[in-house]
């Protein structure tokens, strides 16, 4: 134990007793018999904990408390007084005191108080670190994609996050990242320091769903042996994410609608209304409009949820994002598995862009994770991706001699729909000039790798001199 404690009290016997007891526990102890000495020691010694008497000969303990809150060390402060004054205690806590104890109290009580205060401080620091990590992890900047559809999603996240109570409905196929969008809204909003709770409406049996959402009273049913707070209560002040809302039973939909409209509900078996302040974000991979027409989803609940709708497109509809996402996960998993991957070969990049990705971003993430885990080297090739049902096209390569094709780089079938800033490359398969193919592929590689010539030369398998020669030959420009 390395924590240091400053004891501030004008009574020598108290300082002596506490100092001896705390030193035996392993604390480093220093003492002050007046306020000015205490302020000096706070600056010079930066103690972790201060035991501070409220009444000092030269100034009040509250003045020393204020000085401690201005120091860089931000110590834990436990106030002590022989006068059990509630108003003083309230003022001390408002000024930032961590605890307030009335004299007399014994050494064991003080040791226990210090241990708890230190543990609470550590927990707060760890919690804040966790929250900061979560904010960064789920900020919308970490939702990868640069397509027009995703730019609209980012815009909607920014707008809806400003309003901390607005209900949001996120729609899109499975695997498109609906949970990431929900968390981005939460962590970008003023609710970010409170809880984000996710409920999968498909995973909870219908018989238990009401109890899980709204809680139950003791004895309300056979197994209700004690009072249970539901998820709505647990999420009070934060965000509740109802995943796959389209699968919620009709009977529960009516109760959810009341909770959303009135912001209150009753526990199962309860008589009193419970009010909560919760933002609800719902998601679905089915067309709720069709479910409403089929009588499987309440129309009034649909419109109550759809205050702000956000639609996530399938990955096949934004193939220009596929390579960005693949690179994102390549770096993540290379770090996680301690691999040295730097990128993808041109055939792999073409395959990533032309594959249909039926499982969307989730499938792409899993493919990259598996490939990085099982393979080694600097670049992942198309054969490492193991894409279901995908047949790589016949290949040609960049070469200083263009009179015949050689292996290495895909012919136009693999660059169909490959993204460019202006919408993509299109070539006719049965009529193309080999130099035109090389020009298009080289232009694509330069754009994809942000004109990093070392990286492009490595990927396409030519040296930098040849690369510069071809850039000049074809009149390629970085910002045409």
Domains 4-130 and 138-313 share a fold: yes
CB atoms within 10 A of CB 76: 20
pLDDT tens digit sequence for 118-137: 888 888 777 666 666 665 65
User: Terminal CA-to-CA distance of the chain, rounded, Å?
Assistant: 63
- Residue 394: per-residue pLDDT: 44
pLDDT digits (tens, 9 = 90+) for 147-194: 889 999 999 999 999 998 899 999 999 999 999 999 999 988 999 889
As a whole number, mean pLDDT of residues 452-466 equals 79
**CATH topology (fold) of 314-480:** Helicase, Ruva Protein; domain 3 (1.10.8)
CATH of 138-313, one of 3.40.50.300, 3.90.220.20, 1.10.730.10, 1.25.60.10: 3.40.50.300
Q: Domain locations in the chain?
A: 4-130, 138-313, 314-480
Is the pTM above the cut of 0.75?
no
Residue for token pair 């960049």: 398
Range 467-471 average pLDDT: 85
- Class of the domain covering 4-130: alpha beta
Q: Give the per-residue pLDDT at 403.
A: 34
Cis? peptide before 104, omega within 30° of 0: yes
pLDDT of residue 145: 86
- Mean pLDDT, the chain, rounded, equals 83
Tokens read off for 57: 């000969």
Per-residue pLDDT averaged across 416-444, rounded?
53
Angstrom distance (rounded) from CA 49 to CA 42: 10
140 φ, ψ (degrees, to nearest 5): -70, -15
Is residue 4 within 8 A of residue 27, CB to CB? The reply is yes
- Whether residue 342 is predicted with pLDDT greater than 60 in this model: the reply is yes
């Amino acid at each position: 134990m390395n924590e240091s404690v400053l004891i501030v009290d004008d009574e020598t016997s108290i300082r002596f007793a506490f100092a001896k007891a705390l030193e035996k526990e392993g604390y480093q102890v220093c003492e002050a018999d007046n306020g000015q000495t205490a302020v000096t020691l706070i600056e010079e010694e930066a103690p972790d904990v201060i035991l501070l008497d409220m009444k000092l000969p030269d100034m009040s303990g509250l003045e020393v408390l204020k000085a401690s809150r201005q120091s860089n060390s931000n110590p834990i402060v436990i106030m002590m007084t022989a006068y059990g004054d509630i108003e003083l205690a309230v003022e001390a806590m408002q000024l930032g005191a961590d605890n307030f104890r009335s004299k007399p109290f014994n050494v064991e009580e003080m040791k226990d108080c210090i241990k708890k205060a230190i543990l609470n401080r550590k927990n707060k620091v760890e919690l804040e670190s966790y929250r900061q990590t979560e904010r960064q992890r789920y900020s919308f900047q970490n939702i990868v994609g640069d397509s027009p559809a995703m730019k609209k999603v980012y815009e909607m996240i920014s707008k809806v996050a400003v309003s901390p109570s607005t209900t949001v409905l996120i729609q899109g196929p499975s695997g498109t990242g609906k949970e990431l969008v929900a968390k981005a809204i939460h962590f970008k909003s003023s609710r970010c320091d409170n809880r984000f709770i996710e409920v999968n409406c498909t995973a909870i049996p219908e018989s238990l769903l009401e109890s899980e959402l709204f809680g139950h009273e003791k004895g309300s049913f056979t197994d209700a042996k004690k009072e249970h707070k539901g998820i709505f209560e647990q999420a009070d002040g934060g965000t509740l994410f109802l995943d796959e809302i389209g699968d919620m039973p009709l009977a529960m939909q009516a109760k959810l609608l009341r909770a959303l409209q009135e912001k209150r509900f009753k526990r199962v078996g309860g008589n009193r209304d419970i009010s909560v302040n919760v933002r609800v974000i719902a998601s679905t991979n089915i067309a709720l409009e069709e479910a409403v027409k089929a009588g499987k989803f309440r129309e009034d609940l649909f419109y109550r949820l759809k205050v702000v709708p956000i639609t996530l497109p399938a990955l096949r509809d934004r193939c220009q994002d596929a390579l960005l996402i693949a690179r994102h996960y390549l770096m993540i998993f290379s770090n996680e598995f301690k691999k040295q991957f730097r990128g993808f070969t041109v055939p792999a990049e073409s395959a990533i862009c032309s594959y249909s990705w039926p499982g969307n971003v989730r499938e792409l993430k899993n493919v990259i994770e598996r490939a990085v885990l099982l393979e080694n080297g600097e670049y992942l090739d198309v054969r490492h991706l193991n894409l279901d049902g995908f047949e790589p096209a016949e290949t040609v390569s960049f070469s200083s001699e263009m009179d015949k094709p050689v292996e290495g780089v895909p012919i136009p079938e693999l660059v169909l729909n490959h993204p460019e800033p202006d919408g993509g490359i299109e070539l006719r398969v049965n009529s193309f000039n080999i130099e035109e193919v090389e020009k298009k592929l080289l232009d694509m590689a330069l754009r994809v790798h942000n004109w990093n010539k070392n990286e492009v030369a490595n990927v396409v398998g030519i040296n930098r001199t040849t690369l510069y020669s071809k850039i000049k030959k074809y009149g390629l420009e970085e910002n045409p």
